[in-house]
């Protein structure tokens, strides 16, 4: 399965290719996407992205994970989360969300097994 392209991004709104739903924050992986609901894991801007936010995507067999940490980069990614990703053998890229979407789409267009989590506001 291919990783779907991010079709569009604007403040507070993301569209994933072939998905009728618009997301505020989203998770994508080869063959799918869904909303990224921070309440599921207690995520907030600080302390930031939790390993539990990423388990589902990492378990899809991705090689690279792209994290979009917000339009103003307000969402933090703690070192323990980065360690968790690396210990799973997955490369990780943490970028401002617009740059993260460009990187993710570039990797996906080349057929890479890429997943991502994207925060589309602050």
CA distance 53 to 27: 9
In tens, the pLDDT along 9-35 reads: 999 999 999 899 999 999 999 999 999
Neighbours of 3 (CB within 10 A): 29
Contact 56/27 with Cβ under 8 angstroms? yes
According to the model, what pLDDT value does residue 94 have?
98
CA distance 17 to 27: 13
According to the model, what pLDDT value does residue 73 have?
96
In tens, the pLDDT along 28-75 reads: 999 999 999 999 998 999 989 999 999 999 999 999 999 999 999 999
Alpha-carbon dihedral sign for residues 52, 41, 31, 9? negative
Contact 80/51 with Cβ under 8 angstroms? yes
Vertex 27, ends 109 and 51: CA angle to 5°? 120
Going by pLDDT thresholds of 50, 70 and 90, the confidence category of residue 110 is: very high
In tens, the pLDDT along 67-101 reads: 999 999 999 999 999 999 999 999 999 999 999 99
Alpha-carbon dihedral sign for residues 83, 91, 51, 8? positive
Vertex 121, ends 53 and 51: CA angle to 5°? 15
According to the model, what pLDDT value does residue 74 have?
96
According to the model, what pLDDT value does residue 99 have?
98
């Amino acid at each position: 399965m291919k990783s779907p392209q991010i079709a569009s991004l604007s403040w507070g709104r993301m569209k994933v290719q072939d998905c009728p739903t618009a997301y505020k924050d989203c998770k994508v992986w080869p063959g799918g996407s869904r909303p990224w609901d921070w309440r599921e894991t207690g995520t907030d801007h600080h302390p930031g992205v939790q390993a539990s936010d990423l388990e589902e995507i990492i378990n899809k067999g991705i090689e690279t994970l792209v994290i979009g940490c917000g339009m103003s980069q307000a969402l933090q990614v703690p070192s323990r989360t980065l360690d968790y990703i690396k210990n799973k053998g997955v490369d990780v890229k943490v970028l401002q969300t617009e740059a993260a979407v460009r990187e993710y789409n570039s990797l996906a267009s080349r057929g890479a097994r890429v997943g991502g989590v994207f925060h589309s506001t602050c």
